[in-house]
């Protein structure tokens, strides 16, 4: 069974549905932990868990290149960069504890998130269903490379400059704190 037949099977089948829900749950739990952890290092590691879950979703979509890039670039390099910046800034425990999550802020946030989820659910029910077919070059090295160096070359370069500025900003902030 090739990748097009697996996706076009009626209902997706248990072999496709169960891993989807597992990877989706890993991504969702990791995302919630990323936002709710008081310790920045624990938050960064939760972000890595989220990225691994998203990589699993790309694997289910037969985007093998995007799967590998998600693991190497995001779960690997970007999270390591974030951990490096956290350690470079040398956050103290008292600075982390002062920004604790209180129930007075958590309950309205949970109510707002539930309301937004309900709105998104209703809106998504009204959207037309699209075909699950994808182009043959989807997720291949050739397809991604062609798009990256033609249509998306400028945004790719802008993103690299934004990451460079963020890294320089972290070093400047660390130097001011140590001086």
Evaluate if residue 85 carries a pLDDT over 80.
Answer: no
pTM value is 0.58
Model pLDDT for residues 16-65, shown as the tens digit of each residue: 788 999 999 999 999 999 998 888 888 888 999 999 999 999 988 888 88
Give the DSSP H/E element, type plus range, for residue 73: none
Model pLDDT for residues 128-148, shown as the tens digit of each residue: 776 667 777 777 788 888 888
Backbone φ and ψ for 171, nearest 5 degrees, come out as -65, -40
Q: How far apart are CA 31 and CA 50, in angstroms?
A: 6
CATH of 3-125, one of 1.10.1530.10, 1.20.120.1200, 2.60.40.1760, 3.10.20.30: 1.20.120.1200
Terminal-residue alpha carbon distance, the chain: 62
**Domain boundaries of the chain, sorted by first residue:** 3-125
């Amino acid at each position: 069974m090739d990748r097009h037949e697996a996706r076009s099977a009626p209902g997706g089948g248990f072999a496709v549905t169960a891993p989807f829900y597992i990877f989706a749950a890993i991504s969702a739990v990791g995302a919630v932990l990323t936002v709710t952890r008081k310790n920045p290092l624990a938050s960064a590691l939760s972000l890595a868990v989220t990225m691994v879950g998203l990589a699993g979703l790309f694997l289910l979509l037969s985007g093998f290149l995007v799967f590998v890039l998600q693991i190497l670039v995001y779960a690997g390099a970007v999270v390591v960069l974030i951990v490096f910046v956290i350690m470079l800034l040398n956050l103290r425990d008292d600075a982390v504890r002062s920004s604790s999550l209180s129930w007075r802020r958590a309950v309205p946030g949970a109510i707002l998130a539930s309301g937004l989820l309900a709105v998104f659910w209703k809106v998504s029910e009204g959207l037309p269903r699209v075909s699950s077919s994808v182009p043959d070059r989807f997720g291949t090295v050739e397809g991604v490379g062609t798009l990256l160096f033609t249509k998306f070359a400028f945004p790719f370069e802008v993103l690299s400059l934004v990451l460079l500025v963020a890294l320089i900003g972290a070093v400047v902030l660390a130097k001011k704190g140590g001086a």
